[in-house]
Amino acid sequence: MIKDYLKSIFYSSQRIFLGIGKINKGNQGKINFIDVGSVGRLPQPWLSNSHKIENALLFEPNESKNHKSNIIKLNIALWSNEEERNFYIYKNSHGSSLFKQNYEFVETKFDELFNRGNKKLNLSWRKRSKLVKTVKLKCTTLDKVLEQHNPINIPFHFLKIDAQGAEYDILKGAKKFISSESCIGMQLELFNLPLYKGIKLKKEVVDYLHNLGFKVLKELPPHGSFLSQNDVIFIKKEVKEQYISIVELIYEVYN
């Protein structure tokens, strides 16, 4: 089924508008984009630069599949390997995760955390993080999806992950892709506080990617409850000449 979806997209020349932006408007697209945790629209600054994206592959567990033209959205949970895991759905659906909220950490540190960032947002954390239900999801790896279901071997260049603490685990299951020549940049939402139990924090992820040949290009200001997370932009330290234009595009998008 996934293979059929991908074929229908990657062989199509029709360019359409979705809520994520005008992908490849006027055939200006140069970069092939993977978005893991694609609730809502593309993240900025890519939403404003969606015309520069040629093909987009979007992943979001617990949402319906969708595909049109050169854009596909898959109801697939990515992880470090193939296994069935709990997916925790919270009242604030954007906080839903493969990890449990770390209620003990927040309650123990609440007086200290309350003064970090937006106090109104912080005060509502308990209500927004209430567990609504738990569902079982069959997880797979990004490497497996690309190996089995990329019918014409599109060279994806950029990986964005916003998976509420599962970024490191998804990267572990994407090691082949990350190590490929075509993977040039990433935007990851990384936590500097353990708001979910068992997650890897920002420094550990930065160190992991450093060992795979990536450096931090830019770190955006902290955001979220208690200023718990940052979007961090990575770029490959050394690239082949054929990908210099992709590097330049990434620098342009992030100013």
Mean predicted lDDT score pLDDT of the chain:
88
- CATH number for the region 2-83+140-253 comes to 3.40.50
User: Which tens digit of pLDDT belongs to each residue from 183-204?
Assistant: 999 999 999 999 999 999 999 9
User: Which tens digit of pLDDT belongs to each residue from 218-230?
Assistant: 999 999 999 999 9
SS (H, E, C) the chain: CHHHHHHHHHCCCCCCEECCEECCHHHCCCEEEEEECCCCCCCCCCCCCHHHEEEEEEECCCCCCEEECCEEEECCEECCCCEEEEEEEECCHHHCECCCECHHHHHHHHHHHCCCCCHHHHHCHHHHCCEEEEEEEEEECHHHHHHHHCCCCCCCCEEEECCCCCHHHHHHCCHHHHCCCCCCEEEEEEECCCCECCCCCHHHHHHHHHHCCEEEEEECCCECHHHCEEEEEEEECCCCHHHHHHHHHHHHHCC
List the chain domain ranges.
Answer: 2-83+140-253
Single pTM value for the model:
0.89
| Interatomic CA distance for residues 117 and 140, integer angstroms | 36
User: Which tens digit of pLDDT belongs to each residue from 229-253?
Assistant: 999 999 999 999 999 999 999 999 9
Please compute the mean of the pLDDT values over residues 88-93 and round it to a whole number. 92
